[in-house]
Amino acid sequence: QTSVPRYHKEFHEICLIGKGEFGSVHKCLNRLDGCTYAVKKSLMPVAGSPNERSALNEVWAHAVLGQHPHVVRYYSAWAENGHMIIQNEFCNSGTLEELIRTNQQNNVTVNEPQLKSTLLQIAEGLHYIHSKQLAHMDIKPGNIFICRENIDDCSVHHDSDDGFDELDDDYGSVTYKIGDLGHVTSVVQPIVEEGDCRYLPVEILQENYDNLAKADIFSLGLTIYEMAGGGQLPKNGDEWHAIRQGRLPYNGRYSIELHNLLELMIHPDPTLRPSTQVLTQHPVLGPNGAK
């Protein structure tokens, strides 16, 4: 049936914020409520294809996950002239991948309190996802979205010279949110569509799905390691295998306690990796974490 196109009727496209084989994402203004959203348009997947499963997973996961401060909020999804459209919360400060790249270019090191805060926030979002018997399965910097309060969205925001402007951290708080739920699967009846191999543990590549929640912990460990200045992660080769033996080169920029926690998160034995429950209570990540 020919439905009146909802996308252009309800939204004004402000700008393109992402493009890939998946489709495109625009920052859009909703004409009715005056709020801005991130709206992803992708070609309608072929019935029965992995893309269709991923598209359905994403909407089912959002429906089950409802609302959490550290999971990107879902508003609506619909089909329109051969496209799947999903309307999500717009996070106004880019992705963690972009922040890591900017820091690298400006030779900026994220300090330990910021690393711990990021790890704790994403662990809280993961704890919520795992509490619903779901696993994300594609945790990586590109899927962590950043929201900063107290920045004037309308003005041209000149990035502070460092990756973190102290002011933002103290007054305009920074919130990290887990996004892109296209790989989410049930922990109890897993149908795994593999995520990015740079962040995947060996057991998943060996199709051992007994500890999917701990696969997310592994990916989170490498994500924070990269944010700490670990440099680009290998996609294969000796370095890739060295990491899978649970060893991370120590760059001396942060405490040995945090380094040991990150190594525990990427332990080859998934059962030895800390759960999100352990992480959110961990003394090293607490307010008086080991100095």
Q: Near ligand 809 by CB under 6 A, which window of 86-94, 212-220, 246-254, 281-289?
A: 86-94
At 176 the three-state DSSP class reads strand
Residue with tokens 């300090």: 111
Instruction: Fill in the DSSP letter of residue 252.
Output: S
In the annotation, is 138 catalytic? yes
When computed from its CA atoms, the radius of gyration of the chain, rounded to whole angstroms, is: 19
Q: Which of 28, 51, 57, 89 binds ligand 809 (CB under 6 A)?
A: 89
Q: Which of 55, 57, 84, 90 binds ligand 809 (CB under 6 A)?
A: 90
Tokens representing 38 are: 């991130």
In the complex, minimum distance from the CB of residue 153 to ligand 809, in angstroms, rounded to a whole number: 11
Neighbours of 267 (CB within 10 A): 18
Q: Could you say whether residue 45 binds ligand 809 (CB under 6 A)?
A: no
In the complex, minimum distance from the CB of residue 73 to ligand 809, in angstroms, rounded to a whole number: 8
In the complex, minimum distance from the CB of residue 131 to ligand 809, in angstroms, rounded to a whole number: 21
Q: Could you say whether residue 25 binds ligand 809 (CB under 6 A)?
A: yes
At 185 the three-state DSSP class reads strand
Could you give the angle at the alpha carbon of 136 between the alpha carbons of 132 and 139, nearest 5°? Answer: 140
Q: Could you say whether residue 38 binds ligand 809 (CB under 6 A)?
A: yes
The helix (H) or strand (E) run that includes residue 82 is none
For ligand 809, give the closer residue by CB, 178 or 224.
178
Between CA 35 and CA 33 the distance in angstroms is 5
Q: Could you say whether residue 136 binds ligand 809 (CB under 6 A)?
A: no
Spot the catalytic one: 33, 138, 216, 238: 138
For ligand 809, give the closer residue by CB, 38 or 213.
38
For ligand 809, give the closer residue by CB, 77 or 265.
77
Closest by CA to 218, choosing from 145, 278, 146, 140, is 140
Q: Near ligand 809 by CB under 6 A, which window of 92-100, 148-156, 186-194, 219-227?
A: 92-100
Closest by CA to 227, choosing from 151, 164, 270, 148, is 164
As annotated, the active-site residues are 138
